[in-house]
Structure 1
């Protein structure tokens, strides 16, 4: 099994790196399995700060279409969705300060994952999209929950329905990222972690834990509802058309059924 998620430590900082650069860190079964295990490992570590990023030119292009097609049966789909649920709940409630270092595209499930962090720092060339709608699906990975947290339900619905690819500056203006770096990206992330290291981290983490404990049941409920909704959407003709159009690199012709 190839190492599709890397984990390193430096002082009190853990860095998790999605490592399928040639596939823009699209999440297949292997990557999701390893990410779940790495997040569990970080949970048990002494790290107080976690940086989540992607190798190469992207943070993550989202779920791997091949994995989606291979898990067409209900059993495979349920396994993938349960894995995503476990991983997202563990990551969201980590007793650490988390930073998504978005160094390129963050789309679909990749964007949901980025939104799960306490801070989202984007490079100027980043592109971000909750673009499930393009293949006739709904967000998963807690995308509904995280968008509502940042935008409120009305604007969250609109972002989901539009499925627009946003530039880093557009995402910043919308409140979907917390900062866009203007300098060297790696150095900028070091500056952010340096500021955190100079803060009373135990107090920061205690505040995070209060919020996480309160909202964890709501996130779990959203994840369950997303699984049920996604299961229904996978049976629609619009989804089949969306997948076919994606594979044929053309605009889908949706019929609303």
Structure 2
């Protein structure tokens, strides 16, 4: 029996691959739990500067495991499944490190949710994103509905959701939901895309991620206080000193995340 999540570290990147290709990488309870464990493993490893999420086989993920969902016959069981699945999204968002999703084939349903929960999305040119929820009489979940409404006009969100049509990678790119489209191997493209993260300051990137993700929760005054507090911390960091020294010496800084 194959493990539902593959975890590997190479250099400064942690690779997390959904590994149920025979089930089109549908999100089972075991996969969700192992997914969260893998993300936390990457977070606590000081050598890891970025995380790349991908899917084994022909597609990124077909979404929730309908075979499992079909057997959940009461609210308590459904809520427990949803809680475990949502933990994947919440962990990606709150991780102290940048996460890149590398999408090939298609990302449908909860697979779409996972893909765009990442900080950056790299997609194969022939990949597609599908809001397949209404095809089975439900609504987008795992944060996808808010993610779409935060980034797209309402009319587009309603069309994407209610039509259930595949959204081509190029369309998603032009709508700002995808950062980079490639014709090459999508994981390799994600590795190349991650270069600015690997070369960048981990401590500053951590604060950028969390502050951008939570900016809509704060007033201008609260945001000003947060920026001032974080900047006061960073101006005393080793990375800041290394960055300034490298600037004057006209070379790239060697950031350590301290």
Both structures adopt the same fold (TM-score exceeding 0.5):
yes
User: Shift of the alpha carbon at 1:128?
Assistant: 1.0
CA contact (8 A) 2:62 2:106 kept: yes
TM-score by length of 2: 0.77
SS in 2 for 1:62: coil
Distance 2:141 2:67 in 1: 17
Distance 2:134 2:199 in 1: 42
User: Shift of the alpha carbon at 1:14?
Assistant: 1.0
Mean Cα displacement is larger for which, 5-14 or 147-156? 147-156
Q: Does 1:22 align with 2:22?
A: yes
C-alpha spacing 1:216/1:22, structure 2 compared with 1 (3 Å): farther
User: Shift of the alpha carbon at 1:70?
Assistant: 1.4
SS in 1 for 2:70: helix
C-alpha spacing 1:90/1:40, structure 2 compared with 1 (3 Å): same
C-alpha spacing 1:2/1:72, structure 2 compared with 1 (3 Å): farther
CA RMSD for the aligned pairs? 2.0
* Deviation per residue, 1:153-174 (Å, 9 max, x gap): 4432332122211222222223
CA contact (8 A) 2:16 2:54 kept: yes
Which residue number in structure 1 is paired with residue 96 of structure 2?
95
Distance 1:97 1:61 in 2: 24
C-alpha spacing 1:43/1:214, structure 2 compared with 1 (3 Å): farther
Distance 2:114 2:178 in 1: 13
Q: What pairs up with 1:148-187 in 2 under 5 angstroms?
A: 148-187=149-188
Show structure 1 runs of 5+ residues with no match: 218-257
Which residue number in structure 1 is paired with residue 234 of structure 2?
none
User: Shift of the alpha carbon at 1:92?
Assistant: 0.7
SS in 2 for 1:70: coil
Structure 1 residue ranges (4+ consecutive) displaced by more than 4 angstroms after TM superposition: 213-217
C-alpha spacing 1:11/1:34, structure 2 compared with 1 (3 Å): same
Which residue number in structure 2 is paired with residue 36 of structure 1?
36
What is the number of residues matched between the two proteins? 217
C-alpha spacing 1:6/1:152, structure 2 compared with 1 (3 Å): same
Larger Rg: 2
User: Shift of the alpha carbon at 1:94?
Assistant: 0.8
Distance 1:28 1:84 in 2: 8
CA contact (8 A) 2:32 2:87 kept: no
* Deviation per residue, 1:204-236 (Å, 9 max, x gap): 22211212344689xxxxxxxxxxxxxxxxxxx
Q: Does 1:78 align with 2:72?
A: no
User: Shift of the alpha carbon at 1:87?
Assistant: 2.4
Distance 1:72 1:168 in 2: 36
Show structure 2 runs of 5+ residues with no match: 219-258
SS in 2 for 1:27: coil
Q: Does 1:188 align with 2:193?
A: no
User: Shift of the alpha carbon at 1:124?
Assistant: 1.5
User: Shift of the alpha carbon at 1:193?
Assistant: 1.8
CA contact (8 A) 1:127 1:168 kept: yes
* Deviation per residue, 1:108-141 (Å, 9 max, x gap): 0000010101110001221211110111100111
Q: Does 1:147 align with 2:113?
A: no
